Amino acid sequence: MIITYCYRIKPSPEQIVTMERWLELLRRHWNYACLTKA
């Protein structure tokens, strides 16, 4: 039996900025890796 849990997070405004910055950096890193792989 597989049991999953779904949590809602409620980050503070400062945490939202930090998470958005991390996601942007990860997106750029991924795109760069995809471009240089070819």
> Domain spans of the chain?
12-37
Helix (H, G, I), strand (E, B) or coil at 5: coil
pLDDT in tens, 5-29: 999 999 999 999 999 999 999 999 9
pLDDT for the residue 10? 96
27 SS3 class: helix
- pLDDT for the residue numbered 11: 96
> pTM here?
0.66
- Per-residue pLDDT for 38 more than 80? no
Cβ 27 vs Cβ 35: under 8 Å: no
Does residue 1 sit in helix, strand or coil? coil
- At residue 37, the pLDDT reads 81
What's the half-sphere exposure (Cβ side, CA atoms, 13 Å) at 7?
3
Between 2 and 18, name the one with better pLDDT. Answer: 18
Q: Determine the residue type at 1.
A: M
CA 18 remoteness from chain centre: 10
pLDDT at 2: 85
